[in-house]
Chains A and B, each alone.
Chain A
């Protein structure tokens, strides 16, 4: 059972990684990674596929053990000592199809050390609060994918964990459920809980995160508060437009374009004047917005990873 908050060792960082390395055979999945995640923050883990996000998370959960380095979770030297105070939603989600939703949520709670009656009550309460009241005694197999993911999220938080790790929590959710997920993540923060989530979708990270951590090929590329990370890059031009965007690529003085069809981000060669670009565009496209601002996370990501291919892949997945 959980110890009372008073007896718990106080900690300022929910998670600290010291020079962690993990190899699978000859493949180095995570290379000499150090990281500090302050208590009460929302931390975004970004990185292309196969970058080492999930491996890092699994080491934090002590599902894997690092080959080198050490991991401190909630002030303890191993997650195993605090397993019951962590919540984990893995990337690939699954439920026991034949179990009833309330049963399965309660089961996850009991596995985390809750006593049976508290877990049962809490499971029903949570499911009802999240709009699944009609499903309490129905089997998981009857639910849609989105509902299933909600049930699993509830299973992750039923025991009110101090540190929640969500691996790709937004994948496969419809806009309504995405909003629910966002609210849930924010509510964790409000209760002074720490949240780590990994994602491919930069917009979600931008919206939610206090801190960003970018990993590529097992190595840390960026790490810090969101505003700092973004201010590190050159300013770019953001436009909203209608018309044939292919013209953007042919503009003189433009180094690179992130074109999303209706809006785009342009980065200029050094010494170019944004006003020249605006003049070039007028008449060729209908410009609805034109501003100069910090680069988007997308651009930060792109520059750090240093290859267009990864971004394309990332966008497709999200």
Chain B
């Protein structure tokens, strides 16, 4: 055989024979599947967004049309009213009856379907040739049933969940429109109060002439990173307004460039937030920077933790493989050695991270004097000086670097202690690296909703606490959460260090085959002598 092939064959077979190779083969697909399953499960848990719409358009036509559209879309989710192919399409009445027969007694959808079937409107729509061909009068009758039903059902958490679990993807799952109290001139004030109390997530105000270029519409919310509601509702408004434009233009003979522009324009809401005193104020650039800054911090934090923990692993394996460890152990105890190594590298990491932080601070302070004119103004708009002066950012960055590093250091030093070569260590650390991917995957969703369910769940998974808390800095989380998560971190550290010490003292003198997981568990259970 060709000698190159011979060498290649030996290499290949050698790797194929190792267990870690097969773990490596399996771990990526399984890990990715797990992470995404988790994401999917948690995504289903996005918090309900309650919103109000204060519609000043004539007869509130905009929001009325949109309510119908939403109902229309949700109806499609329930009955499949808009299946593309005509052959496949079953009469809506049959669909409704079939669905009805499957639903248990007392299910809120039964009420809707029964009402639609008994009103005879579905039969009429079928006679007319399906949903697309139904007259607007017929559709209006359907909306007359669906819209009030949806408003009612969505007020009850239990019913809402029942409905959305049968028909997935309904808007009702994520967004619920709450009625606007009629307080005349004070309506907005009342809405602001509701916003402040957290009764609603946001509210829209639609100007009296939505077709005009200056329509004075606005979106008021205190969460500036989660723009899903704004863009979801905004899309509906854009569509509805655009259709109205087209309708109006159909009657005119000449199209001006202005008309075309008006059609192309997407409907923009002016963004507002409430100040601490409940006053409405414009959203400026620096607010957004503050909200998104945690992303950058988490990213750097992740890199720093990973880098330092990696350094420790390499260093432990090296010491073990060149046997210096035995000399050390004749002078110090394994626990002293382990702690010494961990703290030494913690200092190295802190020096690196601290100097990064220092560069950032100095950079932000110096930048105005180095920039000129408009760039300086632009820079000032970013409001980075708020970021550096807020302890929720730099302060927690250093604190969470230290705690995050210490947790992973304990795990990796124990891992390193049982390995004889870097190659072995690299294989064994794969699962840890995988665990470390999670903070990356959830980084964006958490910044979007720093005090939401996902953020809270991740916060209390011990391995992710430091990342999650950094991630939530834009929120910021309430004081009790800072305390609770610090408790979680301290408990995790205590457990991780104790466990690591037990593994380390046995593992560090082992030669030959790395131990099986079962053996390591046995060491962990053994009392400290």
A55 to chain B: closest CB distance in Å?
A: 10
Residues of chain B contacted by A156 (CB below 8 angstroms): 327
Residues of chain A contacted by B509 (CB below 8 angstroms): 58, 63-64
Does A94 reach chain B (CB closer than 8 Å)? yes
State whether A108 touches B326 (Cβ < 8 A): no
Task: With CB as the reference atom, state the residue of chain A lying closest to B510.
Answer: A24
The residues in A between 30 and 74 inclusive whose CB is less than 8 angstroms from any CB of B are: 58, 61, 63-65
20 example contacts (A-B, Cβ-Cβ < 8 A) are as follows A58-B326, A58-B509, A63-B330, A64-B509, A83-B330, A83-B331, A88-B326, A89-B327, A90-B323, A90-B326, A90-B327, A92-B323, A92-B326, A93-B323, A94-B322, A94-B327, A108-B327, A111-B332, A152-B327, A156-B327
Given A63-B509, A65-B529, A95-B322, answer yes or no on A80-B333 (Cβ-Cβ < 8 Å). Answer: yes
Known: A84-B331, A94-B322, A95-B324. 8 other contacts (CB 8 A): A63-B329, A63-B330, A80-B333, A89-B327, A94-B323, A97-B322, A112-B331, A156-B327
Does A236 reach chain B (CB closer than 8 Å)? no
- What CA separation (Å) do A97 and B315 show in the bound complex? 12
State whether A61 touches B324 (Cβ < 8 A): no
Residues of chain A contacted by B490 (CB below 8 angstroms): none
Residues of chain A contacted by B322 (CB below 8 angstroms): 94-95, 97
The residues in B between 366 and 388 inclusive whose CB is less than 8 angstroms from any CB of A are: none
- What CA separation (Å) do A86 and B323 show in the bound complex? 19
Task: With CB as the reference atom, state the residue of chain A lying closest to B337.
Answer: A111
A179 to chain B: closest CB distance in Å?
A: 24
1/0 per position for A86-107, CB-CB distance to B under 8 A? 1011101111110000000000
- What CA separation (Å) do A94 and B323 show in the bound complex? 5
B330 in complex: contacting residue of A86, A93, A97, CB < 8 Å: A86
Does A218 reach chain B (CB closer than 8 Å)? no
1/0 per position for A104-123, CB-CB distance to B under 8 A? 00001001100000000000
Residues of chain A contacted by B323 (CB below 8 angstroms): 90, 92-94
Does B328 reach chain A (CB closer than 8 Å)? yes
B35 to chain A: closest CB distance in Å?
A: 38
Does A169 reach chain B (CB closer than 8 Å)? no
Residues of chain A contacted by B327 (CB below 8 angstroms): 88-90, 94, 108, 152, 155-156
Task: With CB as the reference atom, state the residue of chain A lying closest to B334.
Answer: A63
- What CA separation (Å) do A155 and B529 show in the bound complex? 29
Task: With CB as the reference atom, state the residue of chain B lying closest to A54.
Answer: B326
- What CA separation (Å) do A92 and B321 show in the bound complex? 10
State whether B330 touches A61 (Cβ < 8 A): yes
A interface residues, how many (CB within 8 angstroms): 24
A149 to chain B: closest CB distance in Å?
A: 12
1/0 per position for A263-274, CB-CB distance to B under 8 A? 000000000000
1/0 per position for B307-335, CB-CB distance to A under 8 A? 00000000000000011101111111100
State whether B333 touches A111 (Cβ < 8 A): no
- What CA separation (Å) do A305 and B529 show in the bound complex? 35
- What CA separation (Å) do A64 and B509 show in the bound complex? 9
- What CA separation (Å) do A80 and B322 show in the bound complex? 24
B523 to chain A: closest CB distance in Å?
A: 12
Task: With CB as the reference atom, state the residue of chain B lying closest to A25.
Answer: B519
The residues in B between 486 and 529 inclusive whose CB is less than 8 angstroms from any CB of A are: 509, 529
State whether A96 touches B324 (Cβ < 8 A): yes
B521 to chain A: closest CB distance in Å?
A: 15
Residues of chain B contacted by A83 (CB below 8 angstroms): 330-331
1/0 per position for B213-229, CB-CB distance to A under 8 A? 00000000000000000
Residues of chain B contacted by A65 (CB below 8 angstroms): 529
* Residue among B322, B330, B332, B333 having the largest count of chain A Cβ atoms under 10 Å: B330
Task: With CB as the reference atom, state the residue of chain B lying closest to A90.
Answer: B326
B88 to chain A: closest CB distance in Å?
A: 67
- What CA separation (Å) do A201 and B103 show in the bound complex? 88
Residues of chain B contacted by A92 (CB below 8 angstroms): 323, 326
State whether B328 touches A94 (Cβ < 8 A): no
Task: With CB as the reference atom, state the residue of chain B lying closest to A89.
Answer: B327
Task: With CB as the reference atom, state the residue of chain B lying closest to A95.
Answer: B324
Residues of chain B contacted by A88 (CB below 8 angstroms): 326-327, 330
State whether A111 touches B326 (Cβ < 8 A): no
Residues of chain A contacted by B529 (CB below 8 angstroms): 65
Residues of chain B contacted by A95 (CB below 8 angstroms): 322, 324
1/0 per position for B251-290, CB-CB distance to A under 8 A? 0000000000000000000000000000000000000000
Task: With CB as the reference atom, state the residue of chain A lying closest to B336.
Answer: A111
A228 to chain B: closest CB distance in Å?
A: 31
B187 to chain A: closest CB distance in Å?
A: 72
Residues of chain A contacted by B329 (CB below 8 angstroms): 61, 63
B470 to chain A: closest CB distance in Å?
A: 33
State whether A108 touches B333 (Cβ < 8 A): no
B501 to chain A: closest CB distance in Å?
A: 15
- What CA separation (Å) do A92 and B509 show in the bound complex? 12
Given A58-B509, A64-B509, answer yes or no on A94-B324 (Cβ-Cβ < 8 Å). Answer: yes
The residues in B between 176 and 195 inclusive whose CB is less than 8 angstroms from any CB of A are: none
Task: With CB as the reference atom, state the residue of chain B lying closest to A64.
Answer: B509
A124 to chain B: closest CB distance in Å?
A: 20
B167 to chain A: closest CB distance in Å?
A: 60
A285 to chain B: closest CB distance in Å?
A: 46
- What CA separation (Å) do A17 and B20 show in the bound complex? 42
- What CA separation (Å) do A314 and B72 show in the bound complex? 89
- What CA separation (Å) do A251 and B529 show in the bound complex? 60
B23 to chain A: closest CB distance in Å?
A: 24
- What CA separation (Å) do A63 and B322 show in the bound complex? 17
Residues of chain A contacted by B330 (CB below 8 angstroms): 61, 63, 83, 86, 88, 90
Residues of chain B contacted by A84 (CB below 8 angstroms): 331
Task: With CB as the reference atom, state the residue of chain A lying closest to B508.
Answer: A63
Residues of chain B contacted by A89 (CB below 8 angstroms): 327
B87 to chain A: closest CB distance in Å?
A: 72
- What CA separation (Å) do A93 and B330 show in the bound complex? 13
- What CA separation (Å) do A83 and B328 show in the bound complex? 11
- What CA separation (Å) do A95 and B322 show in the bound complex? 7
B332 to chain A: closest CB distance in Å?
A: 6
- What CA separation (Å) do A58 and B505 show in the bound complex? 13
* Residue among A93, A94, A155 having the largest count of chain B Cβ atoms under 10 Å: A94
A312 to chain B: closest CB distance in Å?
A: 24
Task: With CB as the reference atom, state the residue of chain A lying closest to B509.
Answer: A63
A248 to chain B: closest CB distance in Å?
A: 40
Residues of chain A contacted by B333 (CB below 8 angstroms): 80
A116 to chain B: closest CB distance in Å?
A: 15
- What CA separation (Å) do A83 and B330 show in the bound complex? 7
B494 to chain A: closest CB distance in Å?
A: 25
- What CA separation (Å) do A89 and B327 show in the bound complex? 7
B91 to chain A: closest CB distance in Å?
A: 74
- What CA separation (Å) do A95 and B328 show in the bound complex? 11
The residues in A between 148 and 198 inclusive whose CB is less than 8 angstroms from any CB of B are: 152, 155-156
